[in-house]
Amino acid sequence: MTDIRLTRDYPHPPAKLWRALTDPALIARWGMRAEGFSTVVGTRFKFFGTPNPAWRGFIECELLEAREPALLRYSWLDKPGGTVTVVSWALAPHAVGTRLTFEHLGFEGISGFLLAQLVMKPGHHKRLFQVLPALLATLD
Amino acid sequence: MSRTASDDSVFQAIACPTRRELIARLALGESNVSALVASLSISQSAVSQQLAVLKNAGLVGERAEGRFRYYRLRAAPLAEVELWVARYRAYMERQLDALGRVLDALPDEPKPAARQKKKRRP
């Protein structure tokens, strides 16, 4: 099940994006602070953010795949006993730069269902997609 | 990003395809058991059973009118998911913006390699 996918083109070569995505000092400049990160498959590391009442403030990850400079994939667990999901960053040469595709996969249950219906494939259930927002605004 | 604590119990109610079909059908409007049976080609006992699961999860509300009971989606839990998705996407868009700024400020070659090149020059 595909849940969240974002694509962005950058006017920089894949090797440079790879550095920005895998060097902890650079990661911290655009994303969360990574602790223990390495591109060795099996490495367990953490991302740290700001804790809130619903979140303890860090994500537990394990590196699943690293194909320089094309694909980075790691597991993602945001709370004990939660669903383990998977984050991937795919880099492909595009025009004069790189097309970066971020995906966050593996959400279960209704969240996964709704993510798929509402976010990823609105055309497949067009009627549901059209009706649901109005429903959300008026019911309960 | 983290989902809120209330998510999981509600959302696990929807692991099964039949319940997803019911949700999709009820998203089009209020309905009763016989209409649901007719439009989904699922047995009446299966519809009743799965509606009960959805009711327990707070996803479906019920009202009686004459001999019929009508079922409708309760939007609050769904709105919560939609909100979470929207916030997560916005959060990631901001990260991708920030990544672009980091890339723009970064030299194309790593610094150590640049230094080596200089040393090789006579």
DSSP line for B49-97: HHHHHHHHTTSEEEEEETTEEEEEE-HHHHHHHHHHHHHHHHHHHHHHH
Which residues contact residue A132 at a Cβ distance below 8 angstroms, ignoring those fewer than 6 apart?
Answer: A118, B27, B78, B82
B90 inside 8 A of chain A by CB? no
Whether the Cβ atoms of residue A19 and residue B106 lie closer than 8 Å to each other: yes
Question: How many of the other CB atoms lie within 10 Å of CB of A118?
Answer: 20
Q: Is the peptide bond before A69 cis (omega within 30 degrees of 0)?
A: yes
What's the average model confidence in pLDDT over A28-32?
Answer: 92
CA B75 to each of CA A30, A132, B30, B60: distance values in angstroms, whole numbers, following the listed order: 35, 9, 12, 9
What's the average model confidence in pLDDT over A14-35?
Answer: 94
Query: CB A10 to CB B100 under 8 A?
Result: yes
Q: What is the pLDDT of residue A123?
A: 39
Query: CB A127 to CB B98 under 8 A?
Result: no
Query: CB A26 to CB B72 under 8 A?
Result: no
Amino acid, res. B56: N
Taking a contact as any Cβ pair under 8 Å apart, which residues of chain B between 35 and 64 contact chain A? 59, 61
CA distance A97 to chain B (A): 11
B24 inside 8 A of chain A by CB? yes
Whether the Cβ atoms of residue A105 and residue A74 lie closer than 8 Å to each other: no
Q: Band of the pLDDT at B111, cuts 50, 70, 90? A: low
DSSP A90: E
Query: What does pTM read for this prediction?
Result: 0.65
The domain limits of chain A are 4-107
Q: What does the CA dihedral A116, A97, A21, B93 come to, rounded to 10 degrees? A: -40
CATH architecture of A4-107: 2-Layer Sandwich (3.30)
Quick one: fold of B7-73?
Arc Repressor Mutant, subunit A (1.10.10)
pLDDT digit string, tens, across residues A51-86: 887 778 899 999 999 999 999 999 998 878 777 889
DSSP A116: I
Q: Band of the pLDDT at A131, cuts 50, 70, 90? A: very low
Alpha carbons B34 and B68: distance in angstroms, whole number: 9
Q: What is the pLDDT of residue B80?
A: 65
Q: Band of the pLDDT at B36, cuts 50, 70, 90? A: very high
3-state secondary structure of A68: coil
CA angle A4, A9, A14 (to 5 degrees): 100
pLDDT digit string, tens, across residues B70-104: 999 886 666 666 677 777 888 899 999 999 999 99
Q: Band of the pLDDT at A133, cuts 50, 70, 90? A: very low
Amino acid, res. A4: I
